[in-house]
Amino acid sequence: MTGPFAIQPGPVPVLALGDVLLVTVQGELHDTAAEQLLQDLTQRIATSPTPVGGVVIDISGVEIVDSFLGRILAEIAATARLLATRTVLAGMRPAVAITLVELGLTLPGLDTALDVERALSLLGRPSPAAPSTHPEEGA
C-alpha cells in the first residue's frame, strides 16, 4: 500500500527505568526500524545527562530473528559497550535461539536473560515490580 494511508513501521519506544533503558520489541522489526533503534539508543546513551547503567532489549514478542536483526542487536551491544553501557537481551524464545545458532550469530558482548526481571537483576537493578522490603516489618 502506498500513498498517504500507507502504514510505515514506527520507531521502537525506549523507556527509562531509572538508569536503565528498556526496549520492548513486539512482532517483526523491519530493517529501517531496526536501524533507527540502533541510532536512537546510541543517541540516548551518548546524550543522557546521567550515565546509563544498562540497556535491556526485550524480544519476548519476537518470533523470528533474521541475520540482519541479529547483526543490529550485536551492533547495539558493541556501540553501547564503547559508550560504557552493558546490554542484556531478554525473553528470547527457544526457536529464536536455535535460529541464531543456525545462522552462526554468537552476539558477542550481548548478555542474555530469560525475562526482563532477570535482565534487570543481571544489571544489579531491582525489578520495578519487586515488592519493597522494610527492615521494620516483622520486627
The residue ranges of every structural domain in the chain are 14-122
DSSP states along 7-53: PPPPPPPEEEETTEEEEEEES---HHHHHHHHHHHHHHHHH-SS---
pLDDT tens figures, 61-100: 998 888 899 899 999 999 999 999 999 999 999 999 999 9
Model pTM score: 0.82
Evaluate if residue 8 carries a pLDDT over 60: no
pLDDT tens figures, 83-92: 999 999 999 9
Class of the CATH-defined domain 14-122: alpha beta
| pLDDT class of 10 with cuts at 50, 70, 90 | low
Query: Nearest 5°: phi and psi at 92?
Result: -70, 130
